[in-house]
Chains A and B, each alone.
Chain A
């Protein structure tokens, strides 16, 4: 089965949805002092309505620039951005301001106004939209309830913890009922536990309000916890894009592989390699890595392979993880047997929906 086919099989709620953000051939060049920096190099991607789309990359890869081109905080050098069918990159100042009211954004350092209380901060975008009335005040109350800060309405941001500040940021970003929420490293200044609670809030908002979220991060854990699809950006280019499960279980690009290494281990610890080498010389042996997603993870494929074909398997390393409710993992095995049986056994694993990779012996 091909990966494309597999992608269809592990359907997320996003698949088949209409396009909300369409980025076409976006290029951004910064004119620094004397030298030019290419921050985005011909980037194209689409985000579907209702999905949580992640963009991951190392620091300096161009993530912030990309997300800031969506609401034109950064003026692209070339290319187009469409949000809900409107070309943002072609709007005049006035129209752009109106369009921005429908694109919420949250930030790494929260960017709350210290001169305003929590509820005044949430009211701020409604003031900007010229919509301050009883309805607006009710909306502020509802939003504070949604983010769990009802009791902090009249407190100033200085009195809040980082997580609470980000909750205010989220409530504020939702005030004008946006079509999409952009998140620029919104959890990067928070501790892991707070990060998890903010991510859970984002997921709840996504499902309750069916709000599209585009989030950027350098943290694969964030992608793993909330995203449906992910784009990997490396040195100003998108190098891989796809379903989160697919990328986690079978990253293709070196950039994706090294990012995933930080949360899912796929490598054999060094000592084990020597161990497997010493045992060679008996019959034929192959070192393989089997990756599996979803249903296959629950089946005794390996043991039935051993039974069906005349081979032995030596499990060297394994790892199972879970994204949302789907298990996935990988297993590094040494299989030993006659060359004919080995080939048949590998074919069998492939047919059972596993991805098999033959690794070089040492």
Chain B
């Protein structure tokens, strides 16, 4: 396991200072940490691929600056295909790939692979929608000044769509919280594992409900953070 994930370090920290995992607050804290870092890393990685993909989807559309209908069609179909597979099936289908990349398919780091791959097409569509909202007149103005496609993407499309893109990040992260809980049920770690194995299978109702509460708080917090960042950008421009 690459040590930049620092998972083992954190796990040791929790075990050392908070006691064993079956002590509810300690296990809850560890699981929360695992969820946050699974979500954070897979959100980041899904944007590394999904953002350019979304830009390509927009700009290769008919009449746009990099019009390329065959490419648009192919990418669009792939995105739709991946999005139409239910995540739980996706998890199972990806086991061989995850094993190849990480060495195991169980645990938080292994979960990052299916989470990221499932989020990429979602991110691509979110980015596509955000960029499509931008008035075509702005693109034409830039074209009339002699801007290249890259200049239009980097100086017009992305900066103009910044508030919508920030909200998209929040939506993606929130979705990934849900997906990560699902991954947890097949041993992915985090709050999902905690709720399922301890809460459901061992009938620890307190663990179950406290996991749910933490999930709710996490999602609310992410939404609020996204909203406030987007609002900050919008207000600055007013």
CA–CA, A176 and B159, complex, Å = 23
- Residue contact B145 to A128, C-beta cutoff 8 Å: yes
B135 partner residues in chain A, CB cutoff 8 A: 109, 111
- Residue contact B146 to A113, C-beta cutoff 8 Å: no
- Do A114 and B160 contact each other (CB < 8 Å), given the known contacts A107-B137, A159-B238? yes
Whether, in the assembled complex, A4 has its beta carbon less than 8 Å from a beta carbon of chain B, the answer is: no
- Choose among A100, A115, A129, A159 the residue with the greatest number of B CB atoms under 10 Å from its CB: A115
A113 partner residues in chain B, CB cutoff 8 A: 138, 155-156, 159-160
Cβ-defined partner of A128 (8 Å) among B138, B151, B236? B151
From 138 to 163 in chain B, residues with beta carbon under 8 angstroms from any chain A beta carbon are 138, 140-148, 151, 155-156, 159-160, 162
Considering the complex, give the chain A residue whose CB is closest to the CB of B233.
A115
Q: What sequence of 0s and 1s flags, for each residue 106-140 of chain A, a beta carbon within 8 Å of any chain B beta carbon? A: 01010111111000000011011100000000000
- Choose among A99, A103, A128 the residue with the greatest number of B CB atoms under 10 Å from its CB: A128
Cβ-defined partner of B137 (8 Å) among A100, A109, A124? A109
Instruction: Please report whether the interface of chain A is mostly helix, strand, loop or mixed according to DSSP.
Output: mixed
Cβ-defined partner of B237 (8 Å) among A98, A158, A182? A158
CA–CA, A112 and B140, complex, Å = 11
Considering the complex, give the chain B residue whose CB is closest to the CB of A93.
B148
Whether, in the assembled complex, A361 has its beta carbon less than 8 Å from a beta carbon of chain B, the answer is: no
CB distance from B229 to the nearest CB of A (A): 15
- Residue contact B140 to A111, C-beta cutoff 8 Å: yes
- Do A129 and B141 contact each other (CB < 8 Å), given the known contacts A115-B159, A115-B160? no
Whether, in the assembled complex, A222 has its beta carbon less than 8 Å from a beta carbon of chain B, the answer is: no
- Residue contact B144 to A127, C-beta cutoff 8 Å: no
- Do A105 and B141 contact each other (CB < 8 Å), given the known contacts A114-B237, A128-B151, A156-B236? yes
Cβ-defined partner of A97 (8 Å) among B140, B146, B156? B146
- Do A73 and B238 contact each other (CB < 8 Å), given the known contacts A109-B137, A114-B160, A115-B159? no
A107 partner residues in chain B, CB cutoff 8 A: 137, 140-141
- Residue contact B144 to A105, C-beta cutoff 8 Å: yes
A111 partner residues in chain B, CB cutoff 8 A: 135, 137-138, 140-141
- Residue contact A158 to B138, C-beta cutoff 8 Å: no
CB distance from A39 to the nearest CB of B (A): 16
CA–CA, A67 and B128, complex, Å = 30
- Choose among B137, B143, B146, B147 the residue with the greatest number of A CB atoms under 10 Å from its CB: B146
B156 partner residues in chain A, CB cutoff 8 A: 113
Whether, in the assembled complex, A65 has its beta carbon less than 8 Å from a beta carbon of chain B, the answer is: no
- Residue contact A156 to B137, C-beta cutoff 8 Å: no
- Residue contact A158 to B238, C-beta cutoff 8 Å: yes
Whether, in the assembled complex, A71 has its beta carbon less than 8 Å from a beta carbon of chain B, the answer is: yes
Known: A109-B135, A113-B138, A128-B151. 15 other contacts (CB 8 A): A73-B143, A100-B143, A105-B141, A105-B144, A107-B141, A111-B135, A111-B137, A111-B141, A114-B237, A115-B159, A116-B159, A127-B151, A128-B146, A128-B148, A156-B237
Q: List 30 A-B contacts (CB under 8 A).
A: A73-B140, A73-B143, A73-B144, A97-B146, A97-B148, A98-B146, A99-B146, A100-B144, A100-B146, A101-B145, A111-B135, A111-B138, A111-B140, A111-B141, A112-B141, A113-B138, A113-B160, A115-B162, A115-B237, A124-B142, A124-B155, A125-B145, A125-B146, A128-B142, A128-B145, A128-B151, A129-B146, A156-B237, A176-B145, A182-B144
Query: Footprint of B on A, CB under 8 Å?
Result: 71, 73, 96-101, 103, 105, 107, 109, 111-116, 124-125, 127-129, 156, 158-159, 172, 176, 182
